[in-house]
Amino acid sequence: MNLDTTLSGEYVEYVIIGTHATVWIALLLSWLFNVSVSRLADVNFVLLLLLLPFIYVVGILVDSVSQTLLQPVRRRIRLRVFGLARRAAAPQDMSRFDDELLAFRSPTLYAAYEWRMRRTKVVGAAIPNWLALGSIVVLHLGTPISYAALVVEISAAAFTVVSAFAWADLTSRAYAFRKKAATLLQSQPSPQS
């Protein structure tokens, strides 16, 4: 595995998601154990390197939970993009949209589709992360009824809503790309075994 493969793979997405989640987890722990937030800034480079595997695992966990929660909406988006007729289509008609078939027929088109879907993972995981971060910051402020708390609550809600709309848009565009790729490949002769 080379550096280019590592940087373009899911590793980066999980580190981004994990870093976002680790911020609110660290804030929550500092609130629970009455540790000053300023002490969190004292993290040195060596400690950060030691935390990287944990950040990665947190990213996997948050991604898994958020993808599970978003699955019903993702199904509706997929049905809308592929057309409602797909629901009643014969299994052989639906198979032309399979990831495996796309990957087999054109690894380049599949890589482009996968890249689009990886972006949806980061934005999808941001939805619960923004809510958690805003809630924890309000806990640190000590009172939910203040100007600062209101700004945090509105900001967290706005980022959550924008992330949800961005996730839906990116998911829709990724499925539209997959549909166009499948249609393109269907119009070409199948490779001989």
Q: How confident is the model at residue 7 (pLDDT cuts 50, 70, 90)?
A: low
**pLDDT confidence band for 42 (50 / 70 / 90):** confident
Percent residues over pLDDT 90 in the chain = 58
Average pLDDT over residues 89-105: 66
Helices in 83-189 by DSSP H: which ranges? 85-88, 91-94, 99-105, 107-141, 147-187
Summarize the confidence of residues 58-75 as an average pLDDT. 96
Of 28, 31, 117, 22, give the one whose Cα is nearest residue 61: 22
**pLDDT confidence of residue 90:** 47
Of 90 and 40, the one with more pLDDT: 40
**Is 177 within 8 Å of 82 (Cβ atoms)?**
no
pTM of the model: 0.82
Q: Where are the domains of the chain?
A: 3-187
